[in-house]
Amino acid sequence: MLKFRELETERFCLRALHLRGWELVESNPIRGGYAAELYRLTVRDETGQLREVIYKKFSPERNSELELYRTVLPEVPHAIPTLYGVVDEDGEQGLILEAAGVPVKAVFSEQDAQGKREMLRGLLELLANLHTSLQEKSQHWLAKGQVSSYPFESSAQWAEITVQELAGLTEHGKFGVDTELVREVRGMAAAFYPRYPEWAVGATTYTHGDPHLENILIQNGHTRLIDWEWACVSLPQRDLSILLQDVLEDELHEFALEVYQELVPISNPSQFRTAFQACLFDNTLMMLGWEIRKYLDGHLTDAELARILPTKLRWLRTAYQSLFT
């Protein structure tokens, strides 16, 4: 029984599956506050076997991942789900992808301290492999205009959105958010962003751009990165600081930095650490706004936000202090 809500989406997806000789058996929407529309499809492949795949439907203004799957992402098959089909016609754009497991976030949260270290090391190895294997190619792609470098101007815009979301929490009377806290965060952002490019310097490479633990899937011990919309040539510290957004234990942040520098030798450790603190401030502020929005939309509980909010405010203050003293 088909469950697509939009008949046009069903029609385009059926056409893409037909090109592979596959038949759509069932589809169900995947919910959770995602930027794209996601559907889990059960299909009968050309051998008659049933398998599950994912259809990711893009909104018109957020479809850059489609071109990346056609150009640069085939260079990293170890890090991406298998691409089974592309929908790109008459205003409908999407990808039919391997159902590559479950988000790492849920699995990570269930681990004990040692288990979290081991899992985090594996994720750092995934990122280090991506960064080192594509460092030289990324400069070639950049010169050819196939990829872009990180747009620093977008960061301050995201920060303002977060300040607005934080201000909205004052109306709820929860989590200790008041006008003084909003003023503090706005002041830190105003001082930080004009100087962000000054601190964010060092060797660049091709980065995923958004590898928090819900954008990494795990299946049978294998991990895959999804949601490459924000991929660009940038500092690897940006990926590191986003990876750690779902790792709320401070001691694991230091562990992650040590492990990454074992995997990817750094010529200037002091500069690397400074750039990491700048990236951490930026991405913590950005992710905090996203998490507040998820809470307001019913995708995070009071208990979850009550743990996230003070932790990330502490990260912001610590990173800010390290940069300005």
Is residue 1 included in any domain, yes or no?
Answer: no
Whether 78 and 135 map to the same domain: the answer is no
244 secondary structure, DSSP code: G
The single residue listed with the structure tokens 């003084």 is 180
Whether 169 and 27 map to the same domain: the answer is no
- Indicate the residue among 59, 77, 99 that finishes a domain: 99
Whether 226 and 264 map to the same domain: the answer is yes
Is residue 173 included in any domain, yes or no?
Answer: yes
Is residue 242 included in any domain, yes or no?
Answer: yes
Is residue 118 included in any domain, yes or no?
Answer: yes
Whether 92 and 109 map to the same domain: the answer is no
Q: Which two tokens stand for residue 148?
A: 């872009």
Beta strands in 14-91 (DSSP E): 23-30, 37-44, 50-57, 83-89
- Counting the structural domains of the chain, the total is 2
Whether 274 and 220 map to the same domain: the answer is yes
CB 149 within 8 A of CB 204: yes
Confidence (pTM):
0.92
Q: What is the pLDDT of residue 37?
A: 87
Is residue 271 included in any domain, yes or no?
Answer: yes
Q: Residue 81 maps to which CATH number?
A: 3.30.200.20
Is residue 148 included in any domain, yes or no?
Answer: yes
- Indicate the residue among 99, 125, 153 that finishes a domain: 99
Domain that holds residue 305: 103-324
Whether 182 and 113 map to the same domain: the answer is yes
Whether 253 and 186 map to the same domain: the answer is yes
Other CB atoms within a 10 A radius of the CB of residue 258 amount to: 11
Whether 170 and 83 map to the same domain: the answer is no
Alpha-carbon distance values, 316 to 11, 57, 81, 150, 212 (Å): 47, 34, 33, 21, 17
Whether 240 and 93 map to the same domain: the answer is no
Helices (H), the chain: 7-19, 64-70, 104-109, 113-144, 152-169, 179-192, 196-199, 236-243, 250-263, 269-296, 302-324
Q: Is 53 helix (H, G, I), strand (E, B) or coil?
A: strand
Whether 134 and 217 map to the same domain: the answer is yes
Cβ neighbours of residue 296 closer than 8 Å, sequence gap 6 or more? 165, 168
Is residue 2 included in any domain, yes or no?
Answer: no
Whether 92 and 114 map to the same domain: the answer is no
Is residue 156 included in any domain, yes or no?
Answer: yes
pLDDT tens digit at each of 325 positions of the chain: 344 455 566 677 888 898 899 999 988 888 877 778 899 999 999 999 999 999 999 988 888 899 999 999 999 998 999 999 998 887 789 999 999 999 999 999 999 999 999 999 999 999 999 999 999 999 999 999 999 999 988 899 999 999 999 999 998 888 999 999 999 999 999 999 999 999 999 999 999 999 999 999 999 989 999 999 999 999 999 999 999 999 999 999 999 999 999 999 899 999 999 999 999 999 999 999 999 999 999 999 999 999 999 999 999 999 999 999 8
Q: Residue 159 maps to which CATH number?
A: 3.90.1200.10
- Indicate the residue among 74, 99, 124 that finishes a domain: 99
Whether 143 and 20 map to the same domain: the answer is no
